[in-house]
């Protein structure tokens, strides 16, 4: 596999004629020296995250990123910047998102890019941007690296949705700058990055006012934007820079991040990509396209847990929980973006359960340390990426596996889990077991605000309590089934046949129906802003993106900018 820097973007594109029959793969790894669209400028406890999109820096040819509009490549850089600010700059307490261009903040997702994108690319793009905005909110809420958005110009569509992720929104009062969600009147689609939900659920904008706001092209500016709670304050142009700096300084005082800590460098991942395999230090994915199947194996720690917080810091990006989080995230994004035909992912683990639990215990004991907190929050976000990935996940718990503590969350994230009873003939490894740890009971909540075990056992509170009473115990198959921790258990002589039949059945179903079924079943319990974004908004946008009113030859997305009025079918569905 040859890795090349793209001439179009700071994100890397992987070129390999043999890989999956395509020339170009989307890569989600980048770093600041290769950014083309963002800059990070640190000033003591403040950082300025500056959006200055290179018009010629699109992920592919055929469109310009005018007016700070963005495509997936721009958001890959943003995701990387948000992550690096958390890990590499612990001294930063407040981050100000601003534009590097005069009189324009961000025109939102690039319409030409969306018009050229396949349906799968559109949906994956919206999903990734949603996850990035949620990471910004998570940084403000849980890392206390609080985000402010300073809008100097028009913030339209995805540009305003970016602002909505911040804790505090400032708008310059220059009689031109406005905020807007014009997707419905202009493009016959919805704001794809949580705008509708955040306006009502986060900003608490009145429903009738939100209806007006989302139906007009020109947006709302000045004092009215404050009155409607679309922004938090408007500032005169003459006082703009001083007021933004003063507000950021004030907000920075709310943070509990250390003032003089030294960050760690997120070094490049060690990754090899071949035609049918993606491998890292602790994670490996084997691709079987003929069967629409991938086998994803996560290996446990190869070294003992650190003896002190200082030792953990010294390991930096090589610390097992951080490495495995980064590798697992990268391979999940790779499968989403580059392996759409893979419908089923088998989840396997390999290693020592006690070593996994020892690392969990270390993270819990050292949770007051900023870095250990960041690592646990990162693991939470990676597991959430699995929750919203449109693949069927099947966990296989076998002898030698280490579904323990944090890695047990993979089994609970799976749509089904199969466990082998006892051992295989001739195998001297310990019997298949699943080991619960304190991390399974609060460290990694899902988007619904519940743990995966709470979600799984929603109607069985006694089972949840019984499971908590077995923390630290290697639970073998029959007890695991009794506790509700696994779906099915099989003897060794039945294992291969039962697995084969299940996989053949699963891959015979409609991929569309499976995606819809899984997305509905995974988030039992309360509805939150996050579940609305991924469950309600994404489902509707997925449907609208295929409707002729948006993408037909006479649809709004196709004709945007041509001067030709779109023709809509008038049937309500």
CA distance 177 to 494: 67
Q: Is residue 281 part of a domain?
A: yes
Give the residue from 521, 537, 554 where a domain finishes.
Answer: 521
Q: Is residue 260 part of a domain?
A: no
Terminal alpha carbon distance of the chain:
47
CA distance 410 to 419: 14
132 and 227 co-located in one domain: yes
Q: Which domain holds residue 49?
A: 37-252
DSSP codes, 362-386: HHHHTTTSHHHHHHHHHHHHHHHHH
Give the residue from 484, 502, 521 where a domain finishes.
Answer: 521
Predicted local confidence at residue 178, as pLDDT = 98
* Six-digit token string for 11: 């994100």
> Where do the H-state alpha helices sit in 10-118?
72-88, 111-116
331 and 394 co-located in one domain: yes
Q: Is residue 535 part of a domain?
A: no
pTM summary value: 0.95
291 and 436 co-located in one domain: yes
Categorize the per-residue pLDDT at 1 as very low, low, confident or very high, splitting at 50, 70 and 90: very low
Q: Is residue 556 part of a domain?
A: no
- Check pLDDT > 80 for residue 23: no
CA distance 216 to 178: 12
136 and 279 co-located in one domain: no
193 and 302 co-located in one domain: no
Categorize the per-residue pLDDT at 90 as very low, low, confident or very high, splitting at 50, 70 and 90: very high
C-beta separation of 47 from 30 below 8 A: no
- Check pLDDT > 90 for residue 22: no
> Count of H helices and E strands in the chain?
23, 23
- Check pLDDT > 50 for residue 156: yes
- Sign of torsion over alpha carbons 198, 202, 208, 212: negative
- 221-256: per-residue pLDDT in tens? 999 999 999 999 999 999 999 999 999 999 999 999
Predicted local confidence at residue 351, as pLDDT = 97
What percent of the chain is predicted at pLDDT more than 70?
A: 96
Give the residue from 191, 217, 252 where a domain finishes.
Answer: 252
Mean predicted confidence (pLDDT) in 30-47: 97
- Check pLDDT > 90 for residue 10: no
211 and 350 co-located in one domain: no
318 and 378 co-located in one domain: yes
Name the nearest CA neighbour of 163 among 228, 232, 110.
232
485 and 349 co-located in one domain: yes
248 and 277 co-located in one domain: no
Tokens 């090589």, located at residue: 318
- 103-144: per-residue pLDDT in tens? 999 999 999 999 899 999 999 999 999 999 999 999 999 999
Predicted local confidence at residue 6, as pLDDT = 35
CA 356 to mean position of chain CA atoms: 24
CA distance 338 to 25: 6
What percent of the chain is predicted at pLDDT more than 90?
A: 90
User: Which CATH number do you get for residue 360?
Assistant: 3.90.226.10
243 and 287 co-located in one domain: no
Q: Is residue 529 part of a domain?
A: no
Residue 173 has φ and ψ, to the nearest 5°, of -100, 85
* Six-digit token string for 379: 């693991």
Predicted local confidence at residue 431, as pLDDT = 94
Beta-strand ranges (E) seen in 370-431 are: 392-397, 403-404, 416-420
Predicted local confidence at residue 347, as pLDDT = 98
- Check pLDDT > 80 for residue 85: yes
Predicted local confidence at residue 14, as pLDDT = 53
CA distance 235 to 214: 24
- 337-350: per-residue pLDDT in tens? 999 999 999 999 99
Predicted local confidence at residue 536, as pLDDT = 87
- 433-481: per-residue pLDDT in tens? 999 999 999 999 999 999 999 999 999 999 999 999 999 999 999 999 9
Categorize the per-residue pLDDT at 573 as very low, low, confident or very high, splitting at 50, 70 and 90: confident
Predicted local confidence at residue 24, as pLDDT = 78
- CB-based contacts of 104, cutoff 8 Å, min separation 6: 67, 68, 153, 154
Q: Is residue 178 part of a domain?
A: yes
- Check pLDDT > 60 for residue 21: no
Predicted local confidence at residue 425, as pLDDT = 86
CA distance 480 to 467: 9
Domain count across the chain: 2
Residue 267 has φ and ψ, to the nearest 5°, of -70, 160
419 and 321 co-located in one domain: yes
C-beta separation of 294 from 339 below 8 A: yes
- 347-377: per-residue pLDDT in tens? 999 999 999 999 999 999 998 999 999 999 9
- Check pLDDT > 50 for residue 15: no
C-beta separation of 70 from 34 below 8 A: no
Q: Is residue 572 part of a domain?
A: no
225 and 276 co-located in one domain: no
Q: Is residue 542 part of a domain?
A: no
Categorize the per-residue pLDDT at 538 as very low, low, confident or very high, splitting at 50, 70 and 90: confident
Predicted local confidence at residue 13, as pLDDT = 52
Q: State the pairing for strand pair 38-43/46-51.
A: antiparallel
Tokens 């994108």, located at residue: 117
Predicted local confidence at residue 20, as pLDDT = 63
């Amino acid at each position: 596999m040859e890795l090349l820097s793209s001439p179009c973007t700071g994100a890397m594109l992987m070129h390999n004629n043999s890989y999956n029959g395509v020339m170009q793969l989307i890569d989600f790894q980048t770093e600041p020296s290769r950014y083309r669209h963002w800059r990070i400028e640190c000033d003591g406890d403040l950082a300025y995250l500056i959006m200055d999109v290179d018009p010629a820096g699109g992920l592919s040819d055929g469109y310009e990123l005018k007016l700070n509009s963005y495509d997936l490549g721009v958001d890959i850089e943003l995701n990387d910047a948000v992550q690096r600010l958390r890990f590499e700059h612990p001294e930063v307490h407040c981050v100000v998102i601003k534009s590097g261009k005069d009189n324009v903040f961000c025109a939102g997702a690039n319409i030409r890019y969306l018009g050229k994108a396949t349906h799968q690319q559109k949906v994956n793009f919206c999903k990734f941007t949603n996850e990035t905005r949620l990471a910004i909110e998570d940084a403000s809420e849980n890392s206390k690296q609080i985000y402010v958005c300073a809008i100097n110009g028009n913030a339209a569509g995805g540009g305003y949705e970016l602002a909505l992720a911040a804790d505090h929104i400032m708008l310059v009062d220059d009689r031109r700058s406005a905020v807007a969600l014009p997707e419905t009147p202009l493009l016959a689609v919805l704001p794809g990055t949580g705008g509708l939900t955040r306006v009502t659920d986060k900003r608490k904008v009145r429903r009738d006012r939100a209806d007006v706001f989302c139906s007009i092209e020109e947006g709302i500016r000045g004092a009215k934007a404050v009155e409607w709670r679309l922004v938090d304050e408007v500032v005169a142009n003459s006082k703009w820079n001083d007021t933004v700096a003063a507000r950021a300084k004030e907000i920075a005082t709310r943070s509990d991040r250390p003032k003089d800590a030294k960050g760690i460098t997120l070094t490049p991942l060690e990754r090899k990509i071949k035609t049918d395999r993606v491998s890292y230090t602790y994670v490996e994915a084997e691709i079987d396209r003929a069967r629409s199947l991938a086998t994803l194996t996560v290996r446990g720690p190869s070294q003992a847990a650190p003896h002190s917080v200082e030792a953990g810091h010294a390991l930096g990006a090589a610390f097992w929980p951080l490495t495995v989080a980064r590798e697992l995230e990268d391979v999940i994004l790779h499968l989403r973006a580059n392996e759409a035909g893979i419908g089923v992912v088998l989840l396997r683990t390999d290693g020592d359960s006690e070593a996994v639990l020892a690392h969990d215990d270390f993270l819990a004991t050292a949770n007051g340390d900023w870095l250990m907190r960041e690592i646990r929050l990162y693991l939470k976000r990676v597991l959430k990426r699995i929750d919203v990935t449109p693949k069927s996940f099947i966990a296989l718990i076998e002898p030698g596996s280490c579904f323990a503590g944090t890695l047990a969350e993979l089994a609970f994230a799976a749509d089904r889990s199969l466990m082998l009873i006892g051992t295989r003939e001739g195998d001297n490894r310990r019997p298949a077991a699943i080991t619960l740890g304190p991390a399974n009971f609060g460290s990694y909540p899902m988007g619904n605000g519940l743990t995966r075990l709470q979600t799984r056992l929603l109607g069985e509170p006694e089972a949840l309590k019984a499971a908590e009473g077995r923390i630290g115990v290697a639970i073998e198959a029959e007890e695991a089934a009794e506790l509700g921790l696994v779906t099915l258990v099989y003897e060794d002589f039945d294992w291969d046949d039962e697995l084969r039949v299940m996989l053949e059945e699963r891959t015979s179903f409609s991929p569309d129906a499976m995606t819809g079924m899984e997305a509905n079943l995974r988030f039992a319990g309360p509805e939150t802003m996050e579940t609305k974004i991924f469950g309600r908004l994404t489902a509707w946008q997925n449907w609208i993106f295929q409707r002729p009113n948006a993408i037909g030859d006479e649809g709004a997305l196709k004709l945007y900018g041509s001067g030709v009025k779109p023709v809509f079918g008038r049937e309500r569905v």
